[in-house]
């Protein structure tokens, strides 16, 4: 219960800092919704940091594999947000290619985890 309270307070403080903080000049400021999407980008980065914690800390290799798979899906959402906020449509191409590559690498690594060869 004590750990839960400390963690909840830390997360609420981080999200409040993200929402209050003025927006840096990362994108073109004349495009619409840039402030909202920039704050959303920070929340995705926070989620990626949580899954990186699981990659570094995970007790077994299966935990690390789960976190790598999830990180691959998060990047697709990040590419989608970058598509709107910069107005360049080729970011979503990176998203599609990343989703393909992440799926194939997850399958290959889980076969390796199972202890079989790649040809079965």
Partner 1 sequence: MSSIIGLIFISLGLAFDFFGCLGLVRLPDVYNRLQAATKCVTIGTCSILFGTFLVVGFSAAGLKALLCIVFLVLTAPVAAHAIARGAHRAGVKLWKGSVVDKYAEDKEGEI
Kindly state the number of chain residues that form the binding site for partner 1, as judged by CB under 8 A.
Answer: 48
Say how far apart CA 37 and CA 26 lie, in whole Å.
Answer: 11
Q: Would you state the torsion angle of the CA atoms of residues 78, 83, 85, 86, taken in this order, to the nearest 10 degrees?
A: 120
Q: Which of residues 9-48 bind partner 1 (CB under 8 A)?
A: 11, 32-33, 36-37, 40, 43-44, 46-48
Closest CA to 91 of 105, 77, 103: 77
- Residue in 1, 115, 118, 120 binding partner 1, rule: CB under 8 A: 115
Interface residues with partner 1 (CB under 8 A)?
Answer: 11, 32-33, 36-37, 40, 43-44, 46-48, 50-51, 53-54, 60, 62-63, 65-67, 69-70, 73-74, 76-77, 80-81, 83-84, 89, 91-93, 95-96, 99-100, 102-103, 106-107, 110-111, 113-115
């Amino acid at each position: 219960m004590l750990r839960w309270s400390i963690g909840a307070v830390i997360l609420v403080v981080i999200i409040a800092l993200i929402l209050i903080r003025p927006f840096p000049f990362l994108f073109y400021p004349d495009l619409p919704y840039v402030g909202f999407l920039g704050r959303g980008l920070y929340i995705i980065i926070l989620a990626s940091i949580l899954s990186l914690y699981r990659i570094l800390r995970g007790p077994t290799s299966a935990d690390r594999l789960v976190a790598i798979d999830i990180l691959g899906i998060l990047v697709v959402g990040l590419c989608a947000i970058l598509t709107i906020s910069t107005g360049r449509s080729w970011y979503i191409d990176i998203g599609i290619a990343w989703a393909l590559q992440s799926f194939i690498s997850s399958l290959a690594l889980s076969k390796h985890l199972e202890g079989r060869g790649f040809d079965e």
